[in-house]
Each structure stands twice: as C-alpha cells, then as structure tokens.
Amino acid sequence: MPDGAVVTSVEHRTGNRLVVVTVVRGGFDSALSFLHKQLPKAGYALKEGEVEQDDAESNFSSATVNGRWTLQKTPDCKGGVCLTYLTSAAS
C-alpha cells in the first residue's frame, strides 16, 4: 500500500477472499503511479487494467495470489482517493 494509506475496512469473504478498503492521500495520479511501479517490483503481474478520468482498476497476480485493485477519486476528501484490494489464493 502507498505510504500514508489508512485502512477503513477489512472484509473476509467466502472462498478465502479478502477485501481491504483504504483511503490514500496524495492524489489519484500519485496512487496510480505507485500501483503501476511498486506492484511489479513486489512480484505481481498487472493485467486487464484500464484508467479513466476518475477511476482505474487492474487485475494482478503472483505465484500465490490473484487479485484486483480499484482506485477511485473521492470528491468529498480533497486529495484523497479510495484504493480497494480484493485478493484470493491462486489456484
């Protein structure tokens, strides 16, 4: 997660899936750059992603984890964006 991210919720779902919702300060572009640079450095492959004006998302995977992240601008939180991760064990 980017520096300064604040976890706002954690949800354990069926099938050993985990959803983590965070608020990240520093703006949309900074958070997006972090995801595009740091996840591959940590061993995750990004795939099937898209970037729009107010949101972005991508699937990611490693040898042990499959997941998806979403990034959304938060209009009521200046400079804050909502970053959500959904992960599960790779099959």
9-20 pLDDT, tens per residue?
A: 999 999 899 999
For the chain, how many structural domains are there in total?
A: 1
22-78 pLDDT, tens per residue?
A: 999 888 999 999 999 999 999 999 999 999 999 999 999 999 999 999 999 987 777
In a domain, 34, yes or no: yes
Which CATH number characterizes residue 53's domain? 3.40.1000.10
In a domain, 1, yes or no: no
Q: How far is CA 17 from CA 4, 12, 38, 82, 84, in A?
A: 24, 6, 22, 19, 13
Q: Is 38 helix (H, G, I), strand (E, B) or coil?
A: helix
In a domain, 18, yes or no: yes
